[in-house]
Chain A
Amino acid sequence: MRWEKVMGLEVHLQLATKSKIFSSSSTVFGAEPNSHTNPLDTALPGTLPVLNHEAVTKAIVFGLGVGAEIGKVSRFDRKNYFYPDLPKGYQISQFFEPIVKEGVFDVPMPDGSIFPVRILRAHLEEDAGKSVHDAIPGQTAIDLNRAGTPLLEVVTEPDFRTADQVVAYLKALHALVTYLGISDGNMAEGSMRCDVNLSLRLEGEQEYGTRTELKNINSFRFIERAIYVEAERQQDILESGRAVTQETRLFDPDADETRSMRSKEVANDYRYFPDPDLLPVVIDDETIEKIRAELPELPTTKRARFSEQLGLSQYDASLLTQDRPTAEFFEAVATKCNNPKSAANWLLGDVSASLNKAGIQLTESKLLASELADLILRIDDGTLSSKMAKTVFDALWDGETNVDQIIEQNGLKQVSDTGALETIVSDLIATNPAQVEQYRAADEGKQKKLIGFFVGQAMKASKGQANPQMLNQLLKEKLG
């Protein structure tokens, strides 16, 4: 018997609007508790929500980005429940008529294949505040700064069968929303939060099993583990003949287990009904077409173009298109140096390693695309050896900005002048007769080793600037 995992995802994306979805308070993260609140955010009597149209536009952008249908008339509803971080006692959400309807999102898998994920819906809603348990001893404090931050909840069909698919989807979604500029996708700050609905069934079964909902897994790293751990747990239950309870569970990475949060069987009846304080959101075709015309090139399109037109491997193309700044940087380098493969190698090699080492993003580094392109041009025209190139790169990384000047100042020009090299080689042969004799007597295999001595001496004589290919060539001629 083999068990198959069946998973559907709910991702909450925090939309990158300046103010909250229904109030003029700022959405900036990390402010003094309750400093980004006004009478609406604290649900004072008589206050009324006013829709922030920036959130609507961003939701439409998302819908177009995943090729979904845009709801021409969407509505806001009240989801009723009591919780201290929910000031009104209800959350304004879209239950009956979401703004984004069905669509299919093509997710690139690491092997270059495409995994189509069916998007069921995406709806706008407001975030809740936070309960703070460690600020006041023995008491719970409430911080309402986050209350009212716009969220787009993206719900998929239960299309996922493996953790790899889930991770690939989340990465593609992250790339998409950052490309589109609708969310910063920052998982650590909660801008992208993922709930996984997971059930098991025997392979070949059509019916779904009872699912559990894994809440708020806030890093790519934990998702695979959480899925693995929960699937194991369910499998143990099923194989021992018991039934899985439908409930919400929380993954605890420290204990490496999932824990029950609350049972959905006794869960709230949310008593959804249309919010009479807000008018329906009516979107006409003209608005949709205007937004569509302004969409940037999507990651999937870019990825295909990078591999088809620029000759990159599927793998490199997908790595380079994971976020928009990297893709744009790559394109700028590749265009200027006219060597896409080399540009890709630099970005995925030295640049990526340096970023990791410094723990920063590409946008935070001092490296300029035009300078990296110049560096590649100087390698391609033979001015720089790959070793010298590293030295130049280090200077660029540290913030210097003129490749030719760096070459000049550090005396890094390769000696590729045949005359100068010939003089060095002739001098060497003249001053080292014993080694010459030994070389000439040796067989071909040994010669390969013995030539090293001459290369080393010649490099020393040229202060390391001799073009190694030319030097080898010349030595072979003169010694042979």
Chain B
Amino acid sequence: MTFCYETIEGMRGKLASGAISSVELTRESIDRITDLNPSLNAVITVNEERALDAAAKADVARREGNSSPLLGIPMLHKDIFCTQNMPTTCASKMLEGFVAPYDATVVKRLNSAGMITLGKCNMDEFAMGSSNETSHFGACKNPWDTARVPGGSSGGSASAVAAGLAPLATGTDTGGSIRQPAALCGITGLKPTYGRVSRYGMIAFASSMDQAGPMARTAEDCALVLEAMAGADPLDSTCSDQVVPAYSSHLGDCVQGMRVGVPKEFFANDLNSAVAETIEASLKELEKLGAKLVDVSLPSTSLGVSTYYVIAPAEASANLSRYDGVRYGYRCDNPSNLQDLYLRSRTEGFGEEVKRRILIGAFTLSAASYDQYFMKAQQVRRLISQEYEDVLSKVDVIAGPSAPNTAFALNDSSKSITDMYMEDVFTIGANLAGLPAMSVPAGIVEGLPVGMQLIGRRFGEVDLLRLAHQFQQRTTWHTLTPTMEERH
């Protein structure tokens, strides 16, 4: 009997009845990681001993009456979250072997909810990428087709959940890094409202957009994990103190008459036509649930990518200055002087994409180009936010594709850097505007998953989760699993 594709509720029932133990669940996940990870490279640190230890403790706690919904359920963390006693690398040579002296707030909260940390997931280096190919520890593969990318930057998390290595994983999303890999791997992923989840201990890429969220098989699981992750944190000034709703208890709330805006710009040239047809079919399903589809327009959608690629690298260029070879992390051999120490440590420690973005950021912030680039991008960001706000004053949720295509081939040399940046064309808006957004499995095109994106109002996660949940009550896309064993 395998539990690798169980939902939280399913596992919880079996744990409560004593049909399985947390140790068994954890053991199975570790065994699957051992079997399947060599062909996926989704997990880069396995925390076997401590995970089994924690699982045993969870089993004791359960017997002693602890009935926390997440108690004893194993999960993985994207390697961007600092974890005590375990390396945190951000998939960079710069932080190879780095062990943080503290847990990220997200990790701490999930630990105290009783979740078991199985290990850490592969990702694009410093979360910079849409294919997981920029990882210092090698590319991660898509379990639906290991010759294809899982998306990025939370590629390892998406691949691991899709392949049943763990029922859940954390991800982070700065420009689409939860939603695009969730779409490409056929899982459900939620990027919360900016400020909903603490960023403390989450290694910064672009601080004004970075947001952590759950990646799971169902909207319900996302709701349960988000409840434990979210909420005010005195260690993060940008984290909101708004009360965290009990998302999981609102999943059945009526969606009859919910207004779903469909932006015409999301179905423009950039979108693969088979993906477009799949999304349109899913929108019809939403209609069948009682939702009202409304044609809307987000005219500045095409400016999103350029705006993002000014602001995100600018913030990153400063955020990554701390990796200087002085206090921790990679240091070059035998530096001849201070300048040499900085230059070679950073040249050798960072990968190509990271260096590219640092350079872009340093350029757009320089005195000569600040007004033309950084200031302009901030203005466009406000414009885009305003457009989203206007549309969301007329509709409850915006729906469209999560990504323009299905998973693309690994090492695709025909794909230019800017082609890669275009992967985020539909997801970036929610980051620029700070809105919650999720990707829900919506179909299969040529054997590869397609994700539907839902974008909500600020702190409107309840709306997204209940619409996604009820969509998943009518559809089976989220229950499909790749046939891993046959492929490797």
Q: Using Cβ atoms and an 8 Å threshold, which residues of chain B touch A90?
A: 318, 321
B442 in the interface (beta carbon within 8 A): no
B98 interface residue per 8 A CB criterion: yes
Query: How far, in whole Å, are A269 and B204 apart by their CA atoms in the complex?
Result: 23
Are B365 and A273 in contact, with the CB atoms below 8 A? yes
Is B237's CB under 8 angstroms from A78's CB?
A: no
Are the CB atoms of B338 and A84 closer together than 8 Å?
yes
B387 at the interface (CB under 8 A from A): no
Q: Is the CB of B187 closer than 8 A to any CB of chain A?
A: no
Q: Which A-chain residue is minimally distant from B101 (CB atoms)?
A: A39
CB distance from B94 to the nearest CB of A (A): 10
A130 to chain B, nearest CB (A): 14
Interface of B is mostly: loop
25 contacts between A and B (CB under 8 A): A39-B102, A44-B102, A44-B328, A45-B82, A45-B88, A46-B82, A46-B100, A46-B104, A46-B200, A46-B202, A46-B204, A48-B235, A50-B237, A80-B318, A80-B321, A88-B318, A142-B326, A269-B368, A271-B317, A271-B365, A273-B318, A273-B365, A276-B315, A277-B204, A279-B238
Q: Does A42 contact B (CB under 8 A)?
A: yes
Residues of B within 8 A of A43 (CB): 322, 327
Nearest 6 interchain pairs by C-beta: A89-B321, A276-B208, A271-B365, A276-B207, A46-B201, A43-B322
The interface residues of chain B lying within 8 Å CB-to-CB of A269 are 366-368
A84 touches B326 (CB 8 A): yes
Instruction: Indicate whether A3 reaches chain B with its CB closer than 8 angstroms.
Output: no
Contact yes or no, A45 B98, CB < 8 A: yes
Q: How far is the CB of B276 from chain A (nearest CB, A)?
A: 35
* 314-339 of chain B: CB within 8 A of chain A: 314-315, 317-318, 320-322, 324, 326-328, 338
Chain A residues with CB under 8 A of B201? 46-47
Chain B residues, CB < 8 A from A272: 365
Please tell me if the beta carbons of A47 and B98 are within 8 angstroms of each other in the complex: no
- Assembled-state Cα–Cα distance A205/B58 (Å): 81
Is B374 interfacial (CB 8 A cutoff)? yes
B194-205 contact mask (Cβ, 8 Å, vs A): 1 or 0 = 000001111110
Q: Which residues in window 202-222 of B have CB below 8 A to A? A: 202-204, 206-208
A88 to B199, CA, bound (A): 17
Contact call A278/B237, Cβ cutoff below 8 A: yes
- Nearest Cβ on chain A to B171's Cβ, whole angstroms: 16
B447 CB–A CB distance under 8 Å? no
Q: A45-B322, A89-B322, A271-B365 are in contact. Are A277 and B88 (CB under 8 A)?
A: no
Nearest opposing residue in chain B for A51, CB measure: B237
A67 touches B (CB below 8 Å)? no
In the assembled complex, A49 has its CB within 8 A of some CB on chain B? yes
Interface residues of B in 294-325 (CB under 8 A from A): 314-315, 317-318, 320-322, 324
A87 within 8 Å of B by Cβ? yes
Shortest distance in angstroms between B110's beta carbon and chain A's nearest beta carbon?
16
- B334 nearest CB across to chain A (Å): 14
Q: With both chains docked as a complex, state the minimum distance between the C-beta of A161 and any C-beta of chain B, in angstroms.
A: 32
Q: Which residues of A contact B90 (CB under 8 A)?
A: 45
Q: Is the CB of A47 within 8 A of B200?
A: yes
Interface range, B side: 35 or more
Query: What are the residues of chain A within 8 A of B10 when measuring CB–CB?
Result: none
**Chain B positions 49 through 80: 1 when the CB is less than 8 Å from some CB of chain A, otherwise 0:** 00000000000000000000000000000000
Query: Besides the contacts A39-B102, A82-B342, A88-B318, what 10 more A-B pairs have beta carbons closer than 8 Å?
Result: A42-B327, A45-B203, A46-B203, A51-B237, A88-B321, A89-B321, A271-B365, A271-B366, A277-B204, A277-B238
Q: How far is the CA of A142 from the CA of B82 in the complex (A)?
A: 25
Question: Cβ of A276 and Cβ of B367 under 8 Å apart?
Answer: no
- Cα of A87 to Cα of B318 in the assembled complex, Å: 12
The answer to whether B253 has its CB under 8 Å from any CB of chain A is no
Given contacts A42-B327, A80-B321, A90-B321, contact A49 B365 (CB under 8 A): no
Contacts A45-B203, A88-B321; A276 near B235 (Cβ below 8 A): no
Contact check, A271 vs B362: say whether CB atoms are below 8 A apart.
yes
Chain B 224-244, CB within 8 Å of chain A: the 1/0 string?
A: 000000000011111000000
Binary contact track A47-59/B, C-beta < 8 Å → 1, others 0: 1111100000000
CB-CB under 8 A from B82, the residues of chain A are 44-46
Closest to A140 in B: B338
- For A42, the closest partner residue in chain B by CB is B327
Chain A residues within 8 Å of B433, by CB = none
CB distance from A49 to the nearest CB of B (A): 7
- State A44–B374 Cα separation when bound (angstroms): 27
